[in-house]
């Protein structure tokens, strides 16, 4: 029997009780990965502490226990998505590997020059790049289904795009950016009418609705455990048995064979083992099994109704913010909202929200073609699930309002400073400033204020040559050597937070000789500032990318 009670449900996720930057965590990045209940974490640990052994291959008690639990997990997945046979459930590392498996097996063996692969503009890179690689190898052609103004695949385009030349139709059940449920059944019907196979990306749908692959009638359905309260590194490829039997193996190794010989033809194992070479992610599979139990316990009408209430409320509150613009019109079908904020770079907003303890996603969300289609460079994404609360939505909206009304240009440093002062003093002044600031919210504010002091580069100097590779926002750097053999740097970025970080970095390197730049201890400088532990991995990598660009320029100029 399904039962959903919010406080009981939420209490099962230990990470939701932590603090980030001395603030209670509000986790609104569930489309990227969901948090894990304690039962899933316990199963992972229990496997390694109680019956760690390889599956299928040994004749001892530990292996028998592990194998039994491993195959029971497969049976649970079969029942969870209502596949016809347990042999149709293939373990993968995740949705991405599922696409690559199909492309490199069915695709390589079946496609010829001129065959058509149909995708849509709203696909994740995982459902684009494998097909591009396949098309390059086989001479196949990719055609794209357009979207409606509300972000769904346009049903009126199906007959025109999906033709008798089409061999593959591969689309998302729900877009990871737009949160819209696509007309999957109609797409599948049209593909069947022309003899094409259908591949459905279920990564975003699987935790928000009941999935019945037989009712859908698709040929393949792919999803990942980590987006449905399970562990990372494990996913499922459902495929119709007849198709899987016709496909060559994806990789070679142990377990996927019947007989190997140097003198006779090697023969392959039966389904599903033909596609599962080597030692699998056993702990991941068993933890995934627990996640399915957990989700089935709660995934009833009450939970889905609560998610819809949360969706309605968040959409209403976000709609009240005048500077906010949704990337498509109308309310999404799952609690996933993508938007831009007038006059603000999405990375700046995400960094500011992080200082409040709020985790959201910014960028292109592994959907660059969709960003181009929407004529934007990126956006913010807020994605909720059933452990989120109305109170969290309210705090998020209030925090966003505070960020938007906080005019950094009117703020004054407690102690005036000139970061472009005499040689050797700039970095000391920066360190002195940051040592006086407590907490990430204060340091973030100082970074944003420092960004105001950066003299912007003229557009003609923002070139491919001056572009800093590895920085998550667009950033540029130029330099020249003066008569004293000191290097003078100029820099810019489309994100305010990166401009502030550029000021901090240039304070350490500007007006210095090549020897001083090479000998400067960057790690010690960043440690004194107390910044790196607060920056996201991608932004931290971007900081070091800026340093690498500086040193490369110095090396080039000699």
Residues with catalytic roles:
366
| Tokens standing for residue 292 | 């399915």
Q: Residue 199 forms beta bridges with which residues?
A: 170, 220
Q: Residue 359 forms beta bridges with which residues?
A: 27
**Cβ–Cβ < 8 Å for 332, 179:** yes
Q: Is 195 exposed, middle or buried (0-12, 13-18, 19+ CB in 10 A)?
A: exposed
Q: Residue 325 forms beta bridges with which residues?
A: 340
The C-alpha atoms of residue 503 and residue 521 are separated, in whole angstroms, by 17
Question: CB within 8 A of 521, min separation 6: which ones?
Answer: none
DSSP secondary structure, 330-364, as one string: S--SSSEEEEEETTB-HHHHHHHHHHTTEE-EEE-
Task: Print burial letters for 467-490: b (CB count within 10 Å at least 16), e (below 16).
Answer: ebeebbbbbbbbbeeeeeebbebb
Task: Print burial letters for 378-391: b (CB count within 10 Å at least 16), e (below 16).
Answer: bbbbbbbbbbbbee
What is the 8-class DSSP label of residue 459?
Answer: G
Q: How far is CA 195 from CA 120, 143, 198, 502, in A?
A: 19, 16, 10, 55
The C-alpha atoms of residue 127 and residue 119 are separated, in whole angstroms, by 8
Radius of gyration, alpha carbons of the chain: 26
């Amino acid at each position: 029997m399904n039962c959903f009670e919010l406080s009981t449900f939420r209490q099962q996720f230990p990470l939701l009780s932590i603090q980030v930057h001395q603030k209670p965590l509000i986790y609104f990045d569930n489309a990227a990965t969901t948090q894990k209940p304690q039962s899933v974490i316990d199963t992972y640990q229990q496997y390694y502490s109680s019956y760690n052994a390889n599956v299928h291959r040994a004749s001892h008690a530990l292996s028998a226990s592990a194998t039994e639990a491993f195959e029971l997990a497969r049976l649970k997945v079969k029942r969870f998505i209502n596949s016809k046979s347990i042999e149709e459930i293939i373990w993968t590392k995740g949705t991405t590997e599922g696409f690559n498996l199909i492309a490199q097996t069915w695709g390589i063996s079946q496609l010829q020059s001129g065959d058509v692969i149909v995708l849509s503009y709203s696909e994740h890179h995982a459902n684009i790049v494998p097909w591009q690689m396949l098309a390059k190898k086989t001479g196949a052609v990719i055609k794209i289904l357009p979207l409606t103004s509300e972000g769904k695949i346009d049903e009126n385009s199906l007959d025109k795009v999906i033709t008798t030349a089409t061999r593959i139709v591969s689309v998302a059940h729900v877009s990871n950016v737009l949160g819209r449920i696509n007309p999957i059944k109609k797409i599948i019907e049209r593909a069947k009418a022309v003899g094409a196979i259908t591949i459905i990306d279920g990564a975003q749908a699987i935790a928000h609705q009941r999935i019945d692959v037989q009712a859908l009638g698709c040929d393949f359905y792919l999803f990942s455990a980590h987006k449905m309260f399970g562990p990372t590194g494990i996913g499922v490829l459902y495929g119709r048995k007849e198709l899987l039997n016709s496909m060559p193996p994806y990789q070679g190794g142990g377990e996927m064979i019947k007989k190997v010989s140097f003198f006779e033809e090697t023969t392959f194992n039966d389904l599903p083992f033909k596609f599962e070479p080597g030692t699998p992610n056993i702990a991941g599979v068993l933890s995934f099994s627990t996640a399915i139990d957990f989700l089935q316990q709660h995934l009833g009408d009450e939970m889905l109704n609560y998610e819809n209430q949360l969706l309605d409320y968040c959409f209403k509150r976000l709609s009240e913010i005048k500077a906010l613009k949704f990337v498509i019109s109308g309310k999404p079908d799952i609690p996933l909202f993508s938007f831009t904020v007038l006059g603000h770079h999405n990375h700046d907003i995400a960094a500011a929200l992080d200082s409040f303890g709020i985790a959201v996603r910014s960028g292109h969300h592994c959907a660059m073609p969709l960003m181009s289609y929407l004529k934007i460079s990126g956006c913010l994404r807020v994605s909720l699930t059933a452990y989120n609360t109305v109170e969290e939505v309210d705090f998020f909206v209030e925090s966003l309002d505070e960020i938007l009304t906080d005019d950094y240009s009117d703020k004054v440093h407690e102690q005036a400073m000139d970061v472009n002062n005499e040689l050797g003093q700039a970095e000391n002044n920066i360190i002195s400033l940051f040592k006086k600031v407590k907490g990430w919210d204060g340091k973030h504010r100082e970074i944003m204020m420092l960004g105001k002091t950066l003299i912007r580069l003229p557009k003609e100097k923002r070139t491919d040559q001056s572009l800093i590779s590895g920085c998550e926002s667009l950033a540029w750097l130029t330099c020249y050597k003066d008569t004293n053999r000191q290097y003078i740097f100029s820099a810019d970025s489309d994100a305010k937070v990166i401009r502030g970080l550029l000021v901090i970095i240039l304070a350490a390197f500007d007006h210095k000789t090549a020897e001083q730049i090479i000998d400067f201890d960057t790690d010690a400088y960043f440690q004194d500032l107390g910044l790196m532990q607060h920056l996201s991995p991608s932004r931290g990598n971007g900081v070091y990318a800026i340093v690498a660009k500086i040193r490369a320029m110095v090396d080039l100029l000699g």
